[in-house]
Amino acid sequence: MRVLGIEGTAWAASAAYFDTETGDVFIDSDPYQPESGGIHPREAAEHMAGALPTVIERALSEADSVDAVAFSRGPGLGPCLRIVASAARALAQSLDVPLVGANHMVAHLEIGRHRSGFSNPVCLNASGANAHVLGYHNGRYQVLGETMDTGVGNALDKFARHLEWSHPGGPKIEERARGGEYIDLPYVVKGMDFSFSGIMSAAKDAVDSSERIEDVCFSLQETVFAMLAEVSERALSLTGSDELVLGGGVGQNARLREMLAEMCEARGASFYAPEPRFLRDNAGMIAVLGATMADAGDILEIDESRVDSNFRPDQVDVTWRGAESVSRPMNEEHEVIGAEAVVELDEDVRKRRRPKTYRHPALDARLRRERTASEARLTSLARRAGVPTPAIRDIDLREGTLVFEHVGEADLSADLTPERVRELGRHLATLHDAGVVHGDPTPRNARVSDRRLYCIDFGLGYHTDEIEDYAMDLHVFERSLAGTAADFEACVGAFEAGYCEVGDRAVIDQLRAIEGRGRYR
């Protein structure tokens, strides 16, 4: 099959030609370069209208014939998307070939899967307008975690604009970071979700307070990319996957790729980052995904080809894949490698937060110390509040080691039923009533026996009286269910019902508000 792909979600007018028989992908792109500041939607659309005919003509010059036309339906800037869609419709009609509409973010994932040969990887998408971790489950690419405010590339660009650097800012930050030293900046991970607004404000303040720009750029990269690597490892741990692919323009950063590769090597996982031409916005990934979709019969009628600037990857019915799932069953072993620690299971449980070599040593030491202390304190507090938790036998903050009573027979992930999930909902409501957020409630962080369900792993927990924080706890758990539960709807219903039996219904209302804030929704 031979497919012409057209991309134009934001700043890059791009066309590509892909031949499935040879595997060759020709890409021609003309990126929009604003004179100052960030991307201006009107100027970007004007650039798209002027550049698109030329890049399409160049791609067609490489084509012996065309069997389908694929285009990016979203997410992206509405004016740019509409220009691309109009061009794709006209071309498909003139060539009398099928029209395929691709989700831009799914294309980032699929190009990594296609080029790596991985069967069912977790994907970290690190792009300008987004940052999220995806895994295939129940016929869709589920969002296991994502930014709750701004995309990682946009966050870096905002910092660059504060320094009056031109777009894109990421490469300029990467260049200046090479001469920097580490300074502390905020680090915000909530389960597998993360936030960049606080660190960007702190970075701007640091520059305004006369910190060396090289030091701030270095620390910004070290902190932001460590957050992305950590949530990627959490997704690998949650699902049991041993494959990770990277997508998105920020993935061109050498330090990010280095961190992810080092993290994967330490846990025995495989890592793949496509070559840079497939990481930045490009029509090659649209053409490759378009060929896959067309082969599966996933084509559009002309009157059904409307664009969607808020087109989320978890809204896409993945018709070209079967019933497999990124989530894999895990056996109870003597030693378990989690996202943060190695856990040795014996009569007692010894949990040691090993140094993460991908993180800067100062940042790593801080996180290990803070999380070990938090876990010990909140485990005991939860137990006193009436939530079943293991008793603590010993603690060593310097080594990041805790020794617990061995509770339960397996993780909740091995017995993920509505009845069990309902019980966890009651436990979280009890925690919240005591002013405690668990921080990382997933099926891997609860233990089950015949008679009880225990909450474990409070390392990301904290004290609060904010309803928003309680709702985020529920959001983290329901996101993890989306990527692991066989009967997601039944489990979610039981979880929220259990929570409301003990807790405040207003937390559920706030959860709905959080869900509506997801990127591109």
User: What are the sequence ranges of the domains in the chain?
Assistant: 2-111+278-315, 117-273, 329-521
* pLDDT band for position 471 (cuts 50, 70, 90): very high
For 117-273, CATH number? 3.30.420.40
**Distance, CA of 395 to CA of 406 (rounded, Å):** 15
**Distance, CA of 130 to CA of 250 (rounded, Å):** 10
Share of the chain above pLDDT 70, in %: 97
Residue 521 in this model has a pLDDT that exceeds 50 = no
User: Which is higher by pLDDT, 519 or 38?
Assistant: 38
Find all residues with CB under 8 Å of 44, minimum gap 6, and list them: 10, 11, 32, 77, 79, 80
Q: How many CB atoms lie within 10 A of CB 373?
A: 15
Is the pTM of the predicted complex or chain greater than 0.85?
yes
Give domain 329-521's CATH architecture. Answer: Orthogonal Bundle (1.10)
Find all residues with CB under 8 Å of 175, minimum gap 6, and list them: none
What is the pLDDT of the chain when averaged over all its residues? 93
**Distance, CA of 487 to CA of 469 (rounded, Å):** 26
User: Which is higher by pLDDT, 334 or 434?
Assistant: 434
- pLDDT value for 33: 76
**Distance, CA of 260 to CA of 235 (rounded, Å):** 13
Omega of the bond prior to 313 within 30 degrees of 0, cis? no
| Beta bridge pairs of residue 30 | 13
**Strand-pair category, 140-146 with 348-352:** unpaired
Residue 488 in this model has a pLDDT that exceeds 60 = yes
- N-terminal to C-terminal alpha carbon distance within the chain: 34
- pLDDT value for 303: 83
Omega of the bond prior to 98 within 30 degrees of 0, cis? no
Question: Residue 54: which H helix or E strand, with range?
Answer: helix 41-60
User: Cβ distance 403 to 348 under 8 Å?
Assistant: yes
* pLDDT band for position 46 (cuts 50, 70, 90): very high
- pLDDT value for 339: 86
- pLDDT value for 520: 40
**Strand-pair category, 131-137 with 436-437:** unpaired
* pLDDT band for position 32 (cuts 50, 70, 90): confident
Instruction: Provide the token pair at 154.
Output: 């946009």
- pLDDT value for 453: 97
Domains 2-111+278-315 and 329-521 equal at CATH topology level? no
Supply the DSSP string of 427-466, one letter for each residue: HHHHHHHTTEE-S---GGGEEE-SS-EEE---TT-EE---
- pLDDT value for 100: 98
Give the sheet arrangement for strand 99-103, strand by strand: 25-31, 12-19, 2-7, 68-74, 99-103
User: Cβ distance 131 to 503 under 8 Å?
Assistant: no
Classify residue 166 by its DSSP letter.
P
pLDDT in tens, 63-121: 989 999 999 999 999 999 999 999 999 999 999 999 999 999 999 999 999 999 999 99
Classify residue 192 by its DSSP letter.
T
pLDDT in tens, 311-333: 999 999 999 998 889 987 766 66
Mean pLDDT, range 434-439, rounded to an integer = 97
Find all residues with CB under 8 Å of 182, minimum gap 6, and list them: 215, 218, 219, 222, 360, 362, 363
Residue 353 in this model has a pLDDT that exceeds 90 = yes
User: Cβ distance 213 to 221 under 8 Å?
Assistant: no
Find all residues with CB under 8 Å of 405, minimum gap 6, and list them: 348, 349, 390, 391, 392, 393
**3-state secondary structure string, 62-107?**
CCCCCCEEEEEEECCCHHHHHHHHHHHHHHHHHHCCCEEEEEHHHH
**Distance, CA of 494 to CA of 230 (rounded, Å):** 29
Question: Residue 129: which H helix or E strand, with range?
Answer: none
Residue 36 in this model has a pLDDT that exceeds 70 = no
Residue 497 in this model has a pLDDT that exceeds 60 = yes
**Distance, CA of 342 to CA of 439 (rounded, Å):** 19
Please give the C-alpha separations between residue 75 and each of 101, 228, 279, 501, in angstroms, as whole numbers.
12, 21, 16, 39
Find all residues with CB under 8 Å of 377, minimum gap 6, and list them: none
What residues are annotated to the active site? 440
- pLDDT value for 99: 98
- pLDDT value for 460: 95
| Beta bridge pairs of residue 443 | none
Residue 122 in this model has a pLDDT that exceeds 70 = yes
- pLDDT value for 37: 63
Please give the C-alpha separations between residue 110 and each of 107, 125, 135, 177, 284, in angstroms, as whole numbers.
5, 11, 11, 31, 11
Question: Residue 196: which H helix or E strand, with range?
Answer: none
Find all residues with CB under 8 Å of 149, minimum gap 6, and list them: 195, 196, 197
Q: How many CB atoms lie within 10 A of CB 387?
A: 22
- From the list 239, 244, 455, 237, the residue with the least C-alpha distance to 341 is 237
User: Which is higher by pLDDT, 399 or 448?
Assistant: 448
Classify residue 300 by its DSSP letter.
B
**Distance, CA of 286 to CA of 111 (rounded, Å):** 8
For 2-111+278-315, CATH number? 3.30.420.40
**Distance, CA of 124 to CA of 139 (rounded, Å):** 19
Place of tokens 């919240």: 432
Mean pLDDT, range 221-240, rounded to an integer = 96
**Binding-site sequence positions for L-threonylcarbamoyladenylate:** 125-129, 157, 170, 174, 253
pLDDT in tens, 383-407: 999 999 999 999 999 889 999 999 9
